[in-house]
Amino acid sequence: MTVGYEPWDTTRGAEIIAEHAGLEGATLVILHALQEAFGYVPEPAIPMVAEALNLSRAEVHGVFTFYHDFRKQPAGRHVLKLCRAEACQAAGGDALAARAEAKLGVSLGHTTADERVTLEPIYCLGLCATAPSAMLDGRVVGRLDEARIDALVAEAQR
Amino acid sequence: MTIRIYVPRDAAAVAVGADEVALAFAQAAAARGAAIEIVRNGSRGLCWLEPMVELSTAQGRIAFGPVTAADVPSLLDAMAGNGQHALRLGVTDEIPWLKRQTRLTFARCGVVDPRSVDDYRAHGGYKGLERTLTLSSDQILDDVTRSGLRGRGGAGFPTGIKWKTVAQASADRKYIVCNADEGDSGTFADRMIMEGDPFVVIEGMTIAGITVGATKGYIYIRSEYPHAVEAMNAAIAGARRAGLLGKRIGGSAHEFDLEVRVGAGAYVCGEETSLLESLEGRRGIVRAKPPLPAHKGLFGRPSVINNVLSFAAIPFILDSGAKAYADFGMGRSRGTMPIQLAGNIKYGGLFETAFGVTLGELVDEIGGGTFTGREVRAVQVGGPLGAYFPRALFDTPFDYEAFAARDGLIGHGGIVVFDDTVDMVKQARFAMEFCAIESCGKCTPCRIGSTRGVETINKVINGERVAENLAVIEDLCNTMKFGSLCALGGFTPYPVMSALKHFREDFGPAPARLQAAE
């Protein structure tokens, strides 16, 4: 869920970092944990991660920006991810994505002005035999059609 | 009398309402005061029938599907009574689609409770490990080599040779790495086995660890698979409690433990060296080879890195013997392949069968053609880096070499079906776009070539100097194919060139294409 995240707090951030800093190759684990707590990876956390792992800020920033998952600012209250890969394209996903974009008034990769919904493409949920598929705040939905995508969009807007 | 039913917890079943169905059964049974045991199993892989509910009976398990929450009261009546219901599919094992498969790797998937190590053992699990503990490393390597198993991730490298290289390397520590970054569209076998039979992956990795002398393993799972992450973590905890991970495995002197690591949405991390970089906490930038990961892999140590399905094939090989596995298949492709039928397909799902089945049998006979009822025009085999095949090539047998001979690849065994509304120039552009989005940026042919590829295909779509621009695309594809460091840039030409070769009519100037479609 994208609702119910903690506000950024240095002490809490340091706690999370310290919890995982002893792992082998901990950078991604820590970035995931920070995003899970705060909904995004707050900028002040980057030098803290670097310090804890004895890396340069540039290295941690480089990792943070390489991966599509990590956010530099909070997402909307709900995140609707539409699978845009080939199997979902073959099953009519293009038209459904256009429909969701029109209903929400934003294109894929953006958040509505009221900050309620972030609409994102995702490249394969592995639900390719029940395509087209989507994920709303971590809940997977398959066999999408116009009625189902409308219901998902309406649910996200609530 | 308690009735026992099975409602899958596989993400594909959950995506079409399995959780609601399970809840409805629990509530309806409670309201009637009926005793019910609900097992959340994996999926049998008949995705068009999901949620497929099974009832345990003296005659075997009886399947019903596709079930909605609204069907639950009448299903409970049927289950308590004579068993007749409109959604009844009969004895599960007798369903033709399932019966004609050869399930070696997926033998237990959808059958057992994926949270229960006892259930895994009751269905033949950990017999491979038991035998492993009585063998020398050389004997195990001999078995794996003789089985003919080749890496199921797509490259098809012989698993026995890879393991032997690591076993012979000397180092202060070694690693086992499971590549569960299954990013190819149209593939979901890794996800299904991790959710439906996670212990088989753990057992396979444990056998690998014992064989090569590694005590630590990592399973790198993509973040798009939260259900698989949960299932693997639960199974690892269960295996530890049962003394099957950790020190003194199964009472032996061997030590081996596992940890799940979650990716962060980078497709290129499915490439093994990029995955290793990511596991080490860095950007997923591809490494140049050599050195091979078998010599210098994770943290610079000798590492076995295999796909989920490769590890999942191992317990059968160790338990039933190399020959039992190698007896299936054709040519140099031995054993079985879990094939995934996806996209616009009537009967989609997981179909495990010996190598040698033809593409046409898979798409038309087993898959039943498209769900839209329109004609099949193209199928993409092997994910975003796989070739598009027209009906004229449907006699191609599923075999590494046969696909390569026709400028295609079987990759991870995914088949995506498209009907006659597909615009192949758009699919070619998507292949380039996807490569541009996902390129790690290390090598120029992939990083720049893909972007120029999108631009050039756009020119073709706009009807600008079509012949000249098609020549540019062909040239670009050659550069990418031969000049890229890894399969992302190196294989993106497959979908592009196959679309151009087999569906040339879609690449004309726009008016011609429209006329051709009429």
Instruction: Return averaged pLDDT per consecutive 10 residues of chain B, 518 residues in all.
Output: 94 98 97 95 98 96 97 95 93 97 97 98 98 97 97 90 97 98 95 98 98 98 98 98 96 97 96 97 95 97 97 97 94 94 98 96 98 97 95 96 95 96 97 96 96 97 95 97 95 97 87 50
Q: Which of residues 288-307 of B touch A (CB under 8 A)?
A: 299
pLDDT at A136: 97
Cα separations in angstroms, B477 against A8, B287, B398, B462, B490: 47, 22, 25, 20, 8
Claim to verify: residue A139 and residue A89 sit in the same structural domain: yes
Claim to verify: residue B152 and residue B275 sit in the same structural domain: yes
CA-to-CA distance for B214 and B167, rounded, in angstroms? 9
Instruction: Locate the chain A residue with the closest alpha carbon to B14.
Output: A140
Name residues whose C-beta falls within 8 Å of residue B97's C-beta, 6 or more positions apart in sequence: B46, B347, B349, B351, B366
- Beta-sheet strands, E only, within B146-294: 175-180, 216-221, 257-262
Domain count of the fold of chain B: 4
- The chain-wide mean pLDDT, for chain A, equals 96
Last residue of a domain, one of B327, B357, B373: B327
State how beta strands B216-221 and B175-180 pair. parallel
Q: What are phi and psi of A17, to 5 degrees?
A: -65, -45
Q: Taking the CB of residue B375, how many other CB atoms lie within 10 A of it?
A: 11
All residues of chain B having their beta carbon less than 8 Å from the beta carbon of residue A24 are 280, 299
The minimum CA-CA distance between B280 and chain A, rounded to whole Å, is: 4
Alpha helix stretches (DSSP H) within B213-335: 226-241, 272-279, 308-320, 322-326
User: In CATH, what number is assigned to the domain containing residue B258?
Assistant: 3.40.50.11540
Closest alpha carbon to B443 in B475, B473, B486, B476: B486
Do A66 and B186 make contact, defined as CB atoms within 8 angstroms?
no
User: In CATH, what number is assigned to the domain containing residue A108?
Assistant: 3.40.30.10
Claim to verify: residue B177 and residue B67 sit in the same structural domain: no
Claim to verify: residue B130 and residue B261 sit in the same structural domain: yes
Claim to verify: residue B213 and residue B154 sit in the same structural domain: yes
Contact B385, B497 (CB under 8 A): no
Last residue of a domain, one of B327, B342, B357: B327
Question: First CA to last CA across chain A, in angstroms?
Answer: 14
Claim to verify: residue B415 and residue B339 sit in the same structural domain: yes
Claim to verify: residue B355 and residue B452 sit in the same structural domain: no
pLDDT at A3: 58
The conformation of residue B508, written as its DSSP 8-state character, comes to S
- What digits encode the pLDDT tens for the residues A97-133? 999 999 999 999 999 999 999 999 999 999 999 999 9
Claim to verify: residue B210 and residue B276 sit in the same structural domain: yes
Claim to verify: residue B93 and residue B157 sit in the same structural domain: no
In a domain? residue B516 = no
Claim to verify: residue A142 and residue A83 sit in the same structural domain: yes
**Tokens encoding B151:** 């890496």
Claim to verify: residue B482 and residue B360 sit in the same structural domain: no
- What digits encode the pLDDT tens for the residues A29-82? 999 999 999 999 999 999 999 999 999 999 999 999 999 999 999 999 999 999
Last residue of a domain, one of A35, A66, A97: A66
Claim to verify: residue A82 and residue A130 sit in the same structural domain: yes
Q: What are phi and psi of B354, to 5 degrees?
A: -65, 150
Do B343 and A86 make contact, defined as CB atoms within 8 angstroms?
yes
The dihedral through the CA atoms of B96, B191, B158, B248 has a sign that is negative
CA-to-CA distance for B446 and B94, rounded, in angstroms? 48
Claim to verify: residue A97 and residue A153 sit in the same structural domain: yes
Last residue of a domain, one of B49, B72, B100: B100
Claim to verify: residue B228 and residue B249 sit in the same structural domain: yes
Instruction: Locate the chain A residue with the closest alpha carbon to B276.
Output: A25
Closest alpha carbon to B451 in B442, B466, B438: B438
CA-to-CA distance for B295 and B96, rounded, in angstroms? 46
Domain limits at B413?
Answer: 329-419
Claim to verify: residue B289 and residue B173 sit in the same structural domain: yes
In a domain? residue A2 = no
In a domain? residue B108 = no
List residues in chain A touching B: CB distance below 8 A: 24-29, 31-32, 53, 59, 62-63, 66-70, 85-92, 122-131, 133, 138, 140-143
Do A130 and B12 make contact, defined as CB atoms within 8 angstroms?
yes
Domain limits at A142?
Answer: 78-157
In a domain? residue B105 = no
The dihedral through the CA atoms of B342, B348, B352, B358 has a sign that is negative
CA-to-CA distance for B395 and A95, rounded, in angstroms? 32
pLDDT at A2: 47
Contact A49, A27 (CB under 8 A): yes
All residues of chain B having their beta carbon less than 8 Å from the beta carbon of residue A56 are none
CA-to-CA distance for B474 and B464, rounded, in angstroms? 16
pLDDT at B155: 83
Q: What are phi and psi of B352, to 5 degrees?
A: -95, 125
Domain count of the fold of chain A: 2
What residues pair up with B14 in beta bridges, in sequence order? none
In a domain? residue A144 = yes
pLDDT at B509: 66
pLDDT at B153: 85
ipTM above 0.95 for this complex: yes
Claim to verify: residue B147 and residue B225 sit in the same structural domain: yes
In a domain? residue B517 = no
- Beta-sheet strands, E only, within B115-255: 175-180, 216-221
CA-to-CA distance for B449 and B489, rounded, in angstroms? 8
**Tokens encoding B363:** 């798409």
Q: What is the pTM of this model?
A: 0.96
Rg (CA), chain B: 24
Last residue of a domain, one of A24, A42, A66: A66
Do A131 and B225 make contact, defined as CB atoms within 8 angstroms?
no
Q: Which of residues 451-510 of B touch A (CB under 8 A)?
A: none
CA-to-CA distance for B377 and B323, rounded, in angstroms? 39
Do B188 and A126 make contact, defined as CB atoms within 8 angstroms?
yes
In a domain? residue B110 = no
User: In CATH, what number is assigned to the domain containing residue B12?
Assistant: 3.40.30.10
Q: Which of residues 192-211 of B touch A (CB under 8 A)?
A: none
**Tokens encoding A70:** 């990590």
Claim to verify: residue A23 and residue A51 sit in the same structural domain: yes
Claim to verify: residue A84 and residue A146 sit in the same structural domain: yes
